[in-house]
């Protein structure tokens, strides 16, 4: 079996007491058949620092972007474009809209989101989209900016079935995190039943949102196995089949040939 963690903040794990280093984290992942990790950045300095920390590896790829909650100091558009064009960067993001945690900078969130999509189209790299309490605006911007031309994924999906349908119509993939295992996530489980297997990704969003049975602990790429096992039951397939399909989807979307496949 070969699993991919399609969204992880690999620079944000606890390297003081839980792991001895990045090798340790990736070893623990490999022991649970998680053979590839997408390391997602949330600021431009963070992107630089993460690459310096983790280095070039055949089981890690990078994204470059500015998270909607990290826009207070603005960012340099030319630098974003230059970093995003670097080899080893497979996507723009994470970008998007978060009206749940911040509403005083909505115009800035929207213009940043649009710029990420434009660069994605220009560089032919997909976008990784974060959305919270901003469903209608997120869909409107993706349509207006022709995001279907670069493609992308709505990560850590927590919306309803109708929103999933609208994203699928745009050609987007939908990524499920450990939230789908939470007891109160019935609406999300309904959406997960609806999303076809060939458009589904899985992620941890580590260090946040550890799935059951690790809930409350720090999350890590190894735990994407728990998300896969849970979703497999929900979809009525075995875990190996879900692993195969979600890894193929990942490979197709991000144009990465996976070493184990
Ligand atoms: Zn996010
Ligand atoms: Zn994230």
Is residue 205 annotated as involved in ligand binding?
Answer: yes
Extended beta strands in the chain, E state: 3-8, 34-39, 60-64, 89-98, 127-132, 152-154, 173-176, 200-202
Please choose, from the candidates 144, 137, 185, 184, the residue with its C-alpha nearest in 3D space to the C-alpha of residue 163.
Answer: 137
Spacing, Cα 260 to ligand 1 middle (Å): 27
Does the pTM surpass 0.95? The reply is yes
What per-residue confidence (pLDDT) applies to 125?
98
Spacing, Cα 128 to ligand 2 middle (Å): 9
Domain range enclosing 71: 3-254
Residue 32 lies in a domain: yes
Is residue 155 annotated as involved in ligand binding?
Answer: yes
For the segment 147-171, the average pLDDT, to the nearest whole number, is 97
Residue 194 lies in a domain: yes
Residue 223 lies in a domain: yes
Q: Is 106 helix (H, G, I), strand (E, B) or coil?
A: helix
Spacing, Cα 238 to ligand 1 middle (Å): 28
Is residue 116 annotated as involved in ligand binding?
Answer: no
Residue 218 lies in a domain: yes
Is residue 214 annotated as involved in ligand binding?
Answer: no
Cα–Cα distance, 251 to 260 (Å, whole number): 11
At residue 99 the predicted structure's pLDDT band, cuts being 50, 70 and 90, is: very high
Spacing, Cα 240 to ligand 2 middle (Å): 25
pLDDT at residue 250 is higher than 80: yes
pLDDT at residue 220 is higher than 70: yes
Spacing, Cα 220 to ligand 2 middle (Å): 12
Residue 259 lies in a domain: no
Is residue 67 annotated as involved in ligand binding?
Answer: no
For the segment 44-54, the average pLDDT, to the nearest whole number, is 97
Q: Which ligand is nearest to the CA of 69?
A: 1
Is residue 9 annotated as involved in ligand binding?
Answer: yes
On average, the pLDDT of the chain sits at: 97
For the segment 131-137, the average pLDDT, to the nearest whole number, is 98
Question: What percent of the chain stands above pLDDT 90?
Answer: 98
Residue 260 lies in a domain: no
Residue 261 lies in a domain: no
Q: Which ligand is nearest to the CA of 12?
A: 2
CA distances to 35, 37, 42, 72 from 4, in Å: 6, 6, 20, 32
Q: How many domains does the chain have?
A: 1
At residue 58 the predicted structure's pLDDT band, cuts being 50, 70 and 90, is: very high
Spacing, Cα 98 to ligand 1 middle (Å): 9
Spacing, Cα 40 to ligand 2 middle (Å): 7
For the segment 33-62, the average pLDDT, to the nearest whole number, is 97
Spacing, Cα 158 to ligand 2 middle (Å): 13
pLDDT at residue 260 is higher than 70: no
Spacing, Cα 38 to ligand 1 middle (Å): 13
For the segment 214-223, the average pLDDT, to the nearest whole number, is 96
- How is residue 195 annotated by DSSP? S
Residue 89 lies in a domain: yes
Provide the token pair at 24: 């340790």
73-82: pLDDT as tens digits: 899 999 999 9
What per-residue confidence (pLDDT) applies to 73?
87
Which CATH number goes with the domain that contains 25?
Answer: 3.20.20.140
């Amino acid at each position: 079996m070969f699993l991919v963690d399609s969204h992880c903040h690999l620079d944000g794990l606890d390297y003081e007491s839980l792991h001895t280093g990045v090798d340790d984290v990736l070893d623990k992942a490999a022991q649970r058949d998680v053979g590839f990790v997408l390391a997602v950045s949330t600021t431009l300095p963070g992107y630089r620092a993460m690459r310096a920390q983790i280095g070039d590896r055949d089981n890690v790829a990078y994204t470059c972007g500015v998270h909607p909650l990290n826009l207070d100091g603005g960012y340099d558009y030319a630098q974003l474009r230059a970093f995003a064009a670097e080899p080893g960067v497979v996507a723009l993001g994470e970008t998007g809209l978060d009206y749940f945690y911040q509403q005083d900078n909505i115009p800035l969130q929207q213009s940043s989101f649009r710029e990420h999509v434009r660069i994605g189209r220009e560089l032919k790299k997909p976008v990784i989209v974060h959305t919270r309490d901003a469903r209608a605006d997120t869909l409107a911007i993706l349509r207006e900016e022709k995001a279907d031309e670069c493609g992308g994924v709505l990560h850590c999906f927590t919306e309803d079935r109708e929103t999933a349908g609208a994203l699928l119509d745009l050609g987007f993939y939908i990524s499920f995190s450990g939230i789908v295992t939470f007891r109160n996530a019935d609406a999300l489980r309904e959406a997960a039943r609806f999303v076809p297997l060939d458009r589904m990704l899985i992620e941890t969003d580590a260090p946040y949102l550890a799935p059951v049975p690790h809930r409350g602990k720090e999350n890590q790429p190894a735990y994407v196995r728990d998300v896969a096992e849970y979703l497999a039951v929900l979809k009525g397939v075995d875990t190996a089949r879900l692993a195969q399909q979600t890894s193929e989807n990942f490979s197709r979307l991000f144009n990465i040939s996976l070493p184990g496949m």
